[in-house]
Amino acid sequence: MNYFKYINFLLFLIVTTACSLTKGLERGQYLVYNNEVKGIQKADGEAIRNLIAQKPNTRIPLTNFSPGVFFHDMGMVTYDSAKLAERKNEFEAERELLETTLQKDPNQRKLRRRYIKVNSQISNLERKLEYGNWFMRTGSPRVIYDSIKTFETERQINYYLVNNGFFDAEVTSSVRREKRKAFITYEINEHDEYLIDSVFTRSDDSHIYELLQRSNRSSLISPNQRYIQSNISRERQRVEDLLKENGYYTFSKSYIEYNIYKDTVEKHVQVEQIIRKPVYDEQHRVYKVDSVTFRISSPNDVIRDRQVESEFDNKKFIFYRDRYAERILNSRIFINEGKVYNRRDVLETQRQLANLDVFRFVNISFDTLGNKIHTKIFTSPSQKYQVINQLGASVTEQLPGPFVSHSLRNRNLFGGLEIFELNFRAGLEGVASATAEGGVYRSRELNTSASIIFPQFLFPFNTWALNQFGRYNPRTRVLFGYNYVNRPEYVREALNTIFAYNWATRDLRQQFTLNLLDANFIRSNLNPAFQTRLEELQGQGNNLINSFLSSYVSSVSGQAIINFNEYGLFGKRNASLLRIFGESGGTTYNFLSDEFFDNRSLAYFQFLKVQLDWRRYIPINNQSTFAYRANLGLARPYGISNGVLPYEKYFFAGGSTSNRAWQPRRLGPGSFTPQLREDGTFDYRFEQPGEIVFETMFEYRRKLFGYFDGAFFIDAGNIWTFLPDPTREGAQFRATEFYKEIAVGTGVGLRMDFDFLVLRLDMGVKALDPAQPEGERFVLDKISLARPLGERGQAVFNIGIGYPF
């Protein structure tokens, strides 16, 4: 009932401020309340709407209330620019005095600290004077109608239409004023669109002409397409790139000219592409690489440059010290003597040398003589030892918690450009207990590891393999680590070692990992209540307790991440990501006899695991996007595993990155019904591991104002087991029944997006609960004004850092 009071108060606040958008306007001022664009048939409507200079303030639907204006007005109440300017002048006067004093005696540490603080205060005041205080920067002022900006919008829309093939387009605007509000309508008459009738190329250089003809399929201007000015610019860049990848080192797009011939009767255009001759030559030259020199200079003046010279694969290497492997460097250099100049090879060389993370910079320059190129690659080593300390917050399940991390990096450890890393991380988070409900408990975690990264595949170990795989940034990682986890129900320690290969394609859209060895020695210390619970389950036929025995877990795994259109940057383009993961645990045990495992103090596991994770991001407009995710996973124990998996290998559902209407790790499995408490609600004290997971998440995201974004989401999915579980009836996956056991949750979210950090609060509400009897699983109708969050446990709040997917 307390929730109902809060909602009533919020509604009262909105109603009492409903007229705030138009209140306080001066005479003759009108609030821009709505923009309407009419007449769009073939043009890009979203692109045209983005050209409108004055957009209405974001309002809550069915009200005249704008949170952005509300925040801005709150800031205006306490904003005093004159006072801020006066304080700024005082600090500037103090800064001048401090500068004078420090020039006389620069060793006064106390004054230097004060000088830094004063500078920070001045910067803060300058930001407030220019952009307002925090509330004003977060919110947004009222958008007041301006006829000049409306006229400018008309012009911009007309320019856009003309540049996109509507040469005869007309744009007009009209304004309706009503109750201090302005309703602006833009009328567009596109008329006929102009299509490209033909494209022809003129060049006196037959070689260039042949190159362009062979690449016609890649051309961005083709017959029967609508004329688009931006495609002309993109085609000019494509032609320049094409020629520079075929030896034309000195060619630039300034030599490319386009003539457009418009036919106003037939409504089409002819495009003429002309390749001009160079000014000081008869034709454009094709250049060949004559020599390659690679030089690593001394990192500073203190270290003497000894000019150690050597030659490898027809390349000259000059080092300030003889501590670098020429064959490794050569595998990342794709500019070779006798080859035709190719700018793509130059960029790839620069990128792959930078990927070694050994050099501060990589500069590539060229000297030309006739049609020959002398290549000079100049670098300087990065700092050999690098120490990074971090203090921040992270969240795994429920509440964020602090963490501290320390890392040490030693570059070029053995002279083969290897990197040694020493990492330490300790953190504290809020998690739900595996055996209790209704609270948040501390989870302490400590991780430390030492690893060596080799810039090659260690096997096969030869020059041919180095040069063959150099473009894929190959790395071999050898790691030894220790992990400590202290949760409310158990303490778990693990010693682990990893031997892994990593590589990626040139554009980093495809990244691959192959763990040839992932071995863990695990020891668990169980809470008495958790121990008792596991023993009870064992007595009923569930062997989950075996997952917590002291054990040795080894596996071979592989992962491929395919990133389409830079998923994760969340720009204006559709983007997708596919993650494929496969793991085989205890595979070598198949070659050992059963006697080997008799009377052993450690538990051993054999299992197979596979997971597919698909994510898609679809921008709707500049203000809103739609994103969805599908996650399918299977994990099957076999052999000596006694029907159980290592606890970390199970799947779980529910929580801030899963179905947000269920508490972390509490959903499922299948139609399993937890015990009922005295008040008739389900007892969600225990985590629910599963061997099959299927999840889908759909989310509509929209910018609200300032740093604030909103979201509406629908999550669906569940977990299951392969075989019947005597302690959890309904847990087994059945092909004819599983669709009835899909749990569905819905809800809303609020995010604060600071670019470098996203803070997220989601409220999920159960809609379909498979734990209920068939015919009663739809529970969304239990929400009402009297019970806005439904029954107890129907609504779940999740705090997270970053987007859920």
If one compares 805 and 290, the residue with the highest pLDDT of the two is 290
Domain segments of the chain as ranges: 2-74+142-189, 80-131, 195-275, 288-381, 424-690+716-742
In the structure encoding, which two tokens stand for residue 376, read together? 């000079």
Pick from 509, 499, 513, 647: which is nearest to 581 by CA?
Answer: 513
Specify whether the backbone of 642 is left (phi greater than 0), alpha (psi in -120 to 50) or beta: left
Position of tokens 């590891």?
Answer: 449
Whether pLDDT at 651 is above 90: yes
Percent of the chain clearing pLDDT 90 (strictly above): 53
Q: In degrees rounded to 5, what are phi and psi of residue 264?
A: -75, -15
Stretch 109-127: mean pLDDT: 89
Class of domain 195-275: alpha beta
Stretch 527-552: mean pLDDT: 84
At 111, which helix (H) or strand (E)? Answer: helix 109-131
Tens digits of per-residue pLDDT, 161-174? 999 999 999 999 99
At 532, which helix (H) or strand (E)? Answer: helix 528-539
Q: What pLDDT, on the 0 to 100 scale, is given for residue 269? A: 93
In the structure encoding, which two tokens stand for residue 56, read together? 């209405």
pLDDT band at 11 (very low <50, low <70, confident <90, very high): low
Beta bridge partners of 511: 504, 561
Stretch 123-149: mean pLDDT: 89
Whether pLDDT at 15 is above 60: no
Helices H, strands E: what count in the chain? Answer: 13, 28
Q: Which residues contact 579 (CB under 8 A, 6 or more apart)?
A: 559, 560, 561, 562, 611, 612, 613, 614
Spatial contact of 474 and 502, defined as CB atoms under 8 Å apart: yes
Range from 208-212, 686-690, 751-755 carrying the lowest mean pLDDT: 751-755
Tens digits of per-residue pLDDT, 397-406? 667 778 899 9
Q: What pLDDT, on the 0 to 100 scale, is given for residue 696? A: 96
Range from 54-58, 64-68, 252-256, 696-700 carrying the lowest mean pLDDT: 64-68
Q: What pLDDT, on the 0 to 100 scale, is given for residue 241? A: 95
Max intra-chain CA distance, the chain: 95
Whether pLDDT at 223 is above 60: yes
Spatial contact of 753 and 707, defined as CB atoms under 8 Å apart: yes
CATH number of 2-74+142-189: 3.10.20.310
CA distance 333 to 339: 13
Tens digits of per-residue pLDDT, 444-477? 899 999 999 999 998 866 777 788 888 899 999 9
pLDDT band at 441 (very low <50, low <70, confident <90, very high): low
Q: What pLDDT, on the 0 to 100 scale, is given for residue 308? A: 87
Question: CB 232: neighbour CB atoms within 10 A?
Answer: 17
Position of tokens 């694969």?
Answer: 313
CA distance 633 to 492: 25
Stretch 408-421: mean pLDDT: 93
Spatial contact of 478 and 448, defined as CB atoms under 8 Å apart: no
Q: What pLDDT, on the 0 to 100 scale, is given for residue 6? A: 46
**Is 785 strand, coil or helix?**
coil
What Rg, from alpha-carbon coordinates, does the chain have?
33
Tens digits of per-residue pLDDT, 731-786? 999 999 899 999 999 999 998 887 777 888 899 999 999 999 988 899 888 776 66
Spatial contact of 20 and 77, defined as CB atoms under 8 Å apart: no
Q: Is domain 424-690+716-742 in CATH 1.10.600, yes or no?
A: no
In the structure encoding, which two tokens stand for residue 468, read together? 């063959």
Tens digits of per-residue pLDDT, 589-648? 888 777 777 767 788 999 999 999 999 999 888 788 999 999 999 999 998 888 899 989
Whether pLDDT at 19 is above 60: no
CA distance 320 to 66: 64
DSSP state of 218: G
CATH entry, 288-381, from 3.30.1490.20, 3.10.20.310, 3.40.50.300, 1.20.140.10: 3.10.20.310
Q: CA 574, 575, 580: angle at the middle one, nearest 5?
A: 150
CA distance 448 to 484: 9
Q: Round the average pLDDT of the chain to a whole number and report it.
A: 87
Tens digits of per-residue pLDDT, 25-36? 888 899 999 999
Whether pLDDT at 216 is above 50: yes
pLDDT band at 106 (very low <50, low <70, confident <90, very high): confident
CA distance 742 to 153: 50
Instruction: Show the beta-strand stretches assigned E in 432-509.
Output: 441-454, 475-486, 490-504
Stretch 56-76: mean pLDDT: 82
Whether pLDDT at 794 is above 80: no
Give alpha helix (H) positions in 17-80.
45-49, 67-78
Q: What pLDDT, on the 0 to 100 scale, is given for residue 616? A: 94
Per 3-state DSSP, the chain is made up of helix, strand and coil in percentages (nearest 5) of: 25, 40, 35
Spatial contact of 206 and 286, defined as CB atoms under 8 Å apart: no
Pick from 644, 632, 658: which is nearest to 738 by CA?
Answer: 632
Q: What pLDDT, on the 0 to 100 scale, is given for residue 294? A: 96
Per-residue buried b or exposed e for 121-148, using 16+ beta carbons within 10 Å of the residue's own CB: bbeebeebeeebbebbbbbbebbebeee
pLDDT band at 195 (very low <50, low <70, confident <90, very high): very high
Give alpha helix (H) positions in 187-341.
206-214, 229-244, 326-331
CA distance 219 to 213: 10
- The residue type found at 615 is R
Q: What pLDDT, on the 0 to 100 scale, is given for residue 801? A: 82
Equal CATH topology for 2-74+142-189 and 288-381: yes
DSSP state of 728: B
Whether pLDDT at 669 is above 90: yes
Spatial contact of 251 and 240, defined as CB atoms under 8 Å apart: yes
Whether pLDDT at 4 is above 60: no
In the structure encoding, which two tokens stand for residue 534, read together? 């596991």
CA distance 358 to 334: 18
CA distance 34 to 618: 26
In the structure encoding, which two tokens stand for residue 311, read together? 């030659």
Tens digits of per-residue pLDDT, 373-403? 999 999 999 999 999 988 877 766 667 778 8
In the structure encoding, which two tokens stand for residue 695, read together? 């999840």
CA distance 629 to 611: 13
Tens digits of per-residue pLDDT, 482-522? 999 888 888 999 999 999 999 998 777 899 999 999 999 99
Specify whether the backbone of 69 is left (phi greater than 0), alpha (psi in -120 to 50) or beta: alpha
- Residue 526: exposed, middle, or buried by beta-carbon count in 10 A (0-12, 13-18, 19+)? middle
CA distance 447 to 496: 11
**pTM for this structure?**
0.83
